[in-house]
Structure 1
């Protein structure tokens, strides 16, 4: 059932949570990954992924309508058995814990690389975990309000990238379908991680104030994500040459280095500092979903204790091992593959299974 009974979130907050989950750490390296997978036709791969994510999200919403006041764990436990619910709780716990860990690692690496190169890893983690703990312990309501706040104060940032368009070469996009449609479709594997995160629907649906608008919420979230991805991808493709863009690990930041104002030379520095708010949109909801799954699995009824243990474990583990950029990208590739199963396939399979189960019971 609901983790916090009074934690009802609006449709806009719900959409901001999902869209922020998707955009957060995938936004900066996305143009390079698309160029590696499909060349300058990569922006069309985003449209394919948008369509797939919308279909999968609608399946997730229709699945949750079978038990409006419970999460997917409650639904599985009720319809299949407690053992299945416990198994699902453990699987989602590992998945969301890896998501949160990846978000903290990516944010720490970017911050230390561009802003605070001499700062210790554990110090960076503590600085990130303190505000995260304050928000996560408030549950979905506070996380939803925070997501809405971040959206409102960062919605102007894509307009910064209008400045580099004065040096754009639009012929870079032509001809379309240079190598046919196959690279556009196979490029999905390179950027699948960019459209995961809507599995939060399976856990936040009970907290929706207006459940009848859940489909609108997921449609809005995925459309916002796709629109922003297409915007930044096309700008990077027309600014960098097709061969040059693959040489930059974070082409969005590299493009910002060319923007100069009289009052500020290096605009990428304050941009990265401000972008930490967007980065937080993966580790905050992922941390909440992690401890929610662990609490549901163990039945302790104390999410705060689980959250404290999880954050302490993150800091302690940083003393022994902390991934590099390349290791971080490998983790994201694995998370994309896991997300393809848990977010795209599992909801559709469960929806079909419960439909078939109901039909057989009616016949009996």
Structure 2
């Protein structure tokens, strides 16, 4: 299905759309998660995770490039058939919806804890859903513009984390490979999960005007994410001791606390308030994956009904059930295993299958 020209997005919007989708809740917890497994060598795991994420991303582009202008629904049903391809679309939608719910509940919890402790979760959810609906109903082109805005609007947040490094202790990083390579390899799993978001390329690719630059663009997007994660992780490793950081739930927020101004003391509140924009760009793409594929199932374009129903159900859930921190951790662990299969393993296997299928068809016609 060819997308109208007016819905096209630029290469920069495509790059930043992938990047802001990747940088979500993991930016607050990743340094601690890596330190628990690989101590201060965890930054090496991020580099390995970037390599794996880039390979998977290029497999996604490789599959989509075989059918320029086609959607992921078209591609899957072409190679796997209507029923098996449709089944994988449903699995993809369910996984995306699951992460959207996790991000949504994480946003509510952080706002309640740090910013508006006396405001009901339902009211906060309503305020969160209003701008979300406005972006979703406007389509991919507006989301791409919003992603571009969020990137430049929040660019100062990682840079701000360099301020506490006047008290950095470089001895914390030594010696390199202190525990050997095995802990680093074990820490690759959470590092790869932190790059999840590249799957939005399935949705963005058909809208990209310059499709020849898609592979280069997604490598650039992954590299920007890598630089952000390295900068934040190394800042935490240099500021906190190896034992201290493993006991911190949100080391990134703790790193902001020493920053004070004469007119403003609790700077982490301001930091987190701006960070809500980044949270929204993790939530929106997951919903887009669901609604775009529902439209494909029913042969609709710009159908508002799935958006209204989906957001209404998520909003209703916030009035009925708010998970605790431990419950959110369990949900995240479940989704992690699901993400490895759906977003990492499957794109690689599907690329190999599509390549072999294409070559077999070519030989058969010769």
Judge conservation of contact 1:4–1:139 (CA < 8 Å) in 2. Answer: no
Deviations, residues 59-84 of structure 1 (Å, cap 9, x unaligned): 11111011111112101212231112
Q: Partner residue of 1:25?
A: 25
Q: Partner residue of 1:97?
A: 97
Q: Does 1:10 align with 2:23?
A: no
The whole-number CA distance in structure 1 between the counterparts of 2:144 and 2:193 is 22
Deviations, residues 258-314 of structure 1 (Å, cap 9, x unaligned): 111122111111111111111111111111111112232344556310010011101
The whole-number CA distance in structure 2 between the counterparts of 1:193 and 1:54 is 13
Deviations, residues 150-190 of structure 1 (Å, cap 9, x unaligned): 11111122221122111111100001111111111111223
Q: Does 1:219 align with 2:211?
A: no
Judge conservation of contact 2:3–2:206 (CA < 8 Å) in 1. Answer: no
The whole-number CA distance in structure 2 between the counterparts of 1:337 and 1:209 is 34
Gaps of 5+ in 2: none
How many matched pairs?
364
Q: Partner residue of 1:195?
A: 195
Deviations, residues 300-354 of structure 1 (Å, cap 9, x unaligned): 5563100100111011122222222222233223222222222222122112112
Q: Does 1:363 align with 2:350?
A: no
The whole-number CA distance in structure 2 between the counterparts of 1:83 and 1:280 is 33
Q: Does 1:65 align with 2:42?
A: no
Judge conservation of contact 1:43–1:230 (CA < 8 Å) in 2. Answer: yes
Deviations, residues 79-111 of structure 1 (Å, cap 9, x unaligned): 231112311221111011112111111111111
Gaps of 5+ in 1: none
1:362 is displaced (CA, Å) by: 3.0
Judge conservation of contact 1:37–1:186 (CA < 8 Å) in 2. Answer: yes
Judge conservation of contact 2:79–2:85 (CA < 8 Å) in 1. Answer: no
The whole-number CA distance in structure 1 between the counterparts of 2:270 and 2:199 is 32
Segment of structure 1 superposing worse, 339-348 or 203-212: 339-348
1:210 is displaced (CA, Å) by: 0.6
Q: Aligned-residue CA RMSD in angstroms?
A: 1.5
Q: Partner residue of 2:232?
A: 232
1:309-320 equivalences under 5 Å are: 309-320=309-320
Q: TM-score, normalised by structure 2?
A: 0.95
The whole-number CA distance in structure 1 between the counterparts of 2:71 and 2:192 is 25
